[in-house]
Structure 1
Amino acid sequence: MKEYIAEEWLPSKSGLGESPLYRESDDTFFFVDIKNKLVHSVPLSQGWSAKHTIESDEPVTRLDIVENRSDVLAAQTKLGFALLDPMKETLDRIVDIHHIHDASLDEKVRMNDGAIDARGRWWAGTMALNEEDTIGRLWCMQGGRVCDASTEDRAAVLNGPVWSPDDKTMYVCDTPQGKIYQYDYDIENGKATNKRLFAKLEDGGMPDGLAVDVEGHIWAAANSQGKLIRFSPEGVATATCVVPEAKMCSCPTFGGVDWKSLFITSISDEGSTGNVYRARVGVPGLQRHPHRG
């Protein structure tokens, strides 16, 4: 099995480092510290010394590119979807989520991971604040409207989703259960069906953030194990990327001039640094779909 080793890159000491994002148009790297409500912007060529950091009034849990715009990012807030201007430090809300049938759940969850599909649908998962109650759901926002798209999916902490290169398969993590699931995905109507187990991490590993390469392999952050695991489309582990001093590695993303750089956030906990790492790998990553505004 191929093994890579990541190097420490940004000394961020994040309480909860998440959502790494590379924007090719201006060669900029972004990530968030959910615990401390921080959003960092880092020019790739200059590194940490040139960073720009803002502190938001509420946690920002996920960032994505906005099509044809470099002034704003698509951002998930505690309970909603928004546009974030990291320089002006403004957050313009698009729509919030609400648990229509049980409003008390609004106080028990927050947004966690998310992604945008090839048709511009913005998917997001919520998680229980206590990380124990199975009340997290999948939500989907399109055209300024959001719906509960989770059907039978309930978990304490949902991570993902990501899609295969042909958009026919969607992957979602049930992090506390150590499981990654896959669905048949209909890109034309945004329906995810036929849920089945894709992979289960061994020895108590918890799959956190996911990234996809051009060969359709899934790179999963094995939170609590200090490594990434690369799974084939058949769910077979084909490579690992060790993340030294970051037992609680949280989320990977691809970027750089050839898209072969893998950036990895981490969490300050249990002896883990909370810093950002990067590794050079042998296959390019897929570019993430932008929000179309």
Structure 2
Amino acid sequence: MSEYQRWTVTEPWLDIKCGLGEAPFYEAAANTLRFVDIINKRLHTVSLTQGPSSLKTLQLDMPVGVTADIEGVDSTKKILVGGKSGVYILDRETGKYELLKRFYDTEEKDDRLRSNDGAVDPQGRFWIGTMNDFHVGEPQAEGTLFRFNSDLTRHTIRPSLTIPNGIGWSSDQKTQYFVHSTEKKIFAFDYNPSTGDLSNERVWWEHDGSGDPDGFKMDAEGNIWQAIYGESRVLKIVNENGKGVVRGEIRYPTSAITCPVFVGTELWVTTADDKKGKLYAGAVFKVDIGVKGLKDFKFKLDKKVPEL
């Protein structure tokens, strides 16, 4: 049995006060971090070399839940985003975007729902969850986990979700993990790399605390680093005999921890306004945990990226 590890973070690296900071993404080539503020409809970019003063903000007119790079496309100019009504190409210089594929085929659902977390699988497919938009109020079981293939065919993986969240794959590409926040569970599936099909659904880990599991990232040793919204913590969850076991935690000075990302051996996290006026709510934090993360994959788009 491994020793329980503890880290404590006392101050933010970037005290930005996001309404709902999410989806941090490390851009290794430029040593920059990009992340979104879903509530305030913003894409933030900051140079880790130059520091917090280099922050640049792109104001959008729709909520963006997650971003991804596209294979063969300069990510400083254009990226893939999960937006209000579907999957889009976003021009980072102008803020213009083009819809590639809708989530739903009705305008009522377009109005009631928005994208949340997502990720690209090792074969270049884009997985993303939807949930009720803020104006609907308390989220209902109207969300869906989708998979978008390279030809932009849309596959409904799991309907009737309330708050779908983190998605990731084991390094051997045999297992997919998926967080459903309102059930407080991480589900595991047998994953077929060639088709993207899932089978053998099981509960891999269930949280027994007051907060909800949000986004996660996997490290190079196969552990999940799981943000817990409402508990000021990220948990290190280890796979033991096919089940998740908590073997460490990072403590933060604000409660609404949303999503982590690896930058080398540092774990960076975004946070949200916790509605309690707590110091550093919505800030970005970092801490060295001594292990690297698995690499992010790029979306493989069969069609030519449109000029915006």
User: Under a length normalisation based on structure 2, what TM-score does the superposition of the two structures give?
Assistant: 0.88
Q: Does 1:252 align with 2:253?
A: no
Deviation string 1:34-70 (CA, Å, 9 cap, x unpaired) is 1000111101111221111111111111012233423
Q: Residue 13 of structure 2: SS of its match in structure 1?
A: strand
Deviation string 1:65-95 (CA, Å, 9 cap, x unpaired) is 2334232222111121122222232223221
Q: Does 1:77 align with 2:86?
A: no
Task: Pick the aligned partner of 2:149 from 142, 146, 151.
Answer: 142
Q: Does 1:262 align with 2:267?
A: yes
The 8 Å contact of residues 178 and 204 in structure 1, kept in 2 or not, is answered as no
The 8 Å contact of residues 211 and 231 in structure 2, kept in 1 or not, is answered as yes
Give, in whole Å, the separation in 2 of the partners of 1:132 and 1:82: 23
Tell me by how many angstroms 1:97 deviates.
Answer: 1.3
Structure 2 unaligned spans of 5+: 302-308
Instruction: State the one-letter code of the partner of 2:147.
Output: C
Q: Residue 198 of structure 1: SS of its match in structure 2?
A: strand
Deviation string 1:204-242 (CA, Å, 9 cap, x unpaired) is 220000100011111110101011001112301111111
Tell me by how many angstroms 1:116 deviates.
Answer: 0.4
Give, in whole Å, the separation in 2 of the partners of 1:34 and 1:52: 16
The 8 Å contact of residues 190 and 201 in structure 2, kept in 1 or not, is answered as yes
Partner residue, 2:48: 44
Instruction: State the one-letter code of the partner of 2:157.
Output: S
Structure 1 unaligned spans of 5+: none
Task: Pick the aligned partner of 1:111 from 97, 112, 115.
Answer: 115
- Given the superposition, is the C-alpha separation of residues 145 and 65 from structure 1 closer, same or farther in structure 2, using an over 3 Å criterion? closer
- Given the superposition, is the C-alpha separation of residues 157 and 235 from structure 1 closer, same or farther in structure 2, using an over 3 Å criterion? same
Tell me by how many angstroms 1:147 deviates.
Answer: 2.1
The 8 Å contact of residues 136 and 157 in structure 1, kept in 2 or not, is answered as yes
User: Under a length normalisation based on structure 1, what TM-score does the superposition of the two structures give?
Assistant: 0.93
The 8 Å contact of residues 208 and 223 in structure 1, kept in 2 or not, is answered as yes
* Greater Cα shift, 110-119 or 198-207: 198-207
Partner residue, 1:243: 252
Instruction: State the one-letter code of the partner of 2:94.
Output: K
Could you list the runs of 4 or more consecutive aligned residues of structure 1 that deviate by over 4 angstroms after TM superposition? none
Instruction: State the one-letter code of the partner of 1:29.
Output: L
Tell me by how many angstroms 1:120 deviates.
Answer: 0.6
Partner residue, 1:65: 69
Instruction: State the one-letter code of the partner of 1:238.
Output: R
Q: Residue 10 of structure 1: SS of its match in structure 2?
A: coil
- RMSD, aligned α-carbons: 1.6
Q: Residue 118 of structure 2: SS of its match in structure 1?
A: strand
Instruction: State the one-letter code of the partner of 1:56.
Output: L
Tell me by how many angstroms 1:144 deviates.
Answer: 3.8
Partner residue, 1:276: 284
Give, in whole Å, the separation in 1 of the partners of 2:90 and 2:39: 18
Tell me by how many angstroms 1:105 deviates.
Answer: 2.9
Q: Residue 58 of structure 1: SS of its match in structure 2?
A: coil
- Given the superposition, is the C-alpha separation of residues 131 and 282 from structure 1 closer, same or farther in structure 2, using an over 3 Å criterion? farther
Give, in whole Å, the separation in 2 of the partners of 1:76 and 1:170: 20
Instruction: State the one-letter code of the partner of 2:37.
Output: D
- Given the superposition, is the C-alpha separation of residues 62 and 125 from structure 1 closer, same or farther in structure 2, using an over 3 Å criterion? same
Partner residue, 2:304: none
* Greater Cα shift, 61-70 or 218-227: 61-70
Pairing of 1:8-19 with structure 2 (within 5 A):
8-19=12-23
Give, in whole Å, the separation in 2 of the partners of 1:99 and 1:196: 30
Pairing of 1:1-293 with structure 2 (within 5 A):
1-6=4-9, 7-68=11-72, 69-70=74-75, 71-99=77-105, 104-129=108-133, 130-151=137-158, 153-233=159-239, 234-244=243-253, 246-255=254-263, 259-269=264-274, 270-272=276-278, 273-293=281-301
The 8 Å contact of residues 34 and 43 in structure 2, kept in 1 or not, is answered as yes
